[in-house]
Amino acid sequence: MKIRIGSRGSALALWQAEHVKSRLTGLGHDVSITTITTTGDRVQDRRLDSIGGKGAFLKEIEEAMLAGEIDLAVHSLKDVPTALPEGLRLCAFLERADPRDALVSASGRPLAELPSGARLGTTSLRRQAQLRARRPDLVLTDLRGNVDTRLRRLREGAFDAILLAMAGVTRLGRASEVTEVLPADVMLPAPGQGAIALECRVSDSDVAKVAGELNHPATERCVAAERAFLAGLGGGCNVPLGAYAEEEGAALRLRGLVARADGSVRVDADRRGTDAEALGRALAEELLAKGAADLMRG
């Protein structure tokens, strides 16, 4: 079967697209990749919430799919909103890579040993809120751009340390540059972090069937809980929140948090259950009852 993949042009996005292409080719399919520049790629000098949120990295790709120009999109799941355009669906989730955040410091010092006043680069409100709660003495500065750009700016001296997703650093073969991988109880990941999602047209059952051959059920179950939590909160990139689900026997353990951007207040909770989506909704309801709604209103 011929399948046209649409992808952003960053090194990480193309790695992910090539990975999917390789696996589908190995299954006997004829696969090509079309590179598409998105709003999120073009606009680098403004915060994501001012240009459409994380969906800014998907808009043009999804439009191309709805227009019949491509058949399959490959996304970092953490960039995918819970509400998709009408006519599109997520049809597979690849096995998740390390979902944690990674600190890269110019001095080789871990987070706890960075000196007071050290400049740390990250644009993520989720990361900023958790950092401010743990290390209020650090100077946090916005840092956008792809993995290569962020690492280059660190090496050029613009920052003393930066935070990145461990999965992306590993996929690009740069894990040796990581100073410290932060455990989830120090830095709770974003919902879906480390997972690759495939998106296709609802009407394209043939493509969905082919993509389904790459699906990893355990990953699908975990990210379903995280995304149900996100949907239950109605949150996005303009709200500091995190969620992480992992299997514990037949059950799932789901941790979630919502914080004030300055790190002064946070509400979090931890639940277990066997129904992924019900678990995510229940955790969202618990946090809303504990005050998350007020934090999300600012």
Where in the sequence numbering do the catalytic residues fall?
A: 79
Q: Look at the chain and count its residues.
A: 298
Cβ-contact 148, 11 below 8 angstroms:
yes
Please return the burial class of 213, using the count of CB atoms within 10 Å of its CB with bins 0-12, 13-18 and 19+.
exposed
Cβ-contact 184, 143 below 8 angstroms:
no
HEC readout, 198-210: EEEECCCHHHHHH
CA dihedral 295, 246, 131, 264 (to 10 degrees): 30
141: left (phi over 0), alpha (psi -120 to 50) or beta: beta
Look at residues 173, 149, 172, 153 and name the one whose alpha carbon lies nearest to residue 161.
153
- State whether residue 187 is helix, strand or coil: coil
- State whether residue 147 is helix, strand or coil: helix
Exposure of 37 in the CB half-sphere (CA atoms within 13 A)? 4
Question: Rounded CA gap, 179 and 103, in Å?
Answer: 6
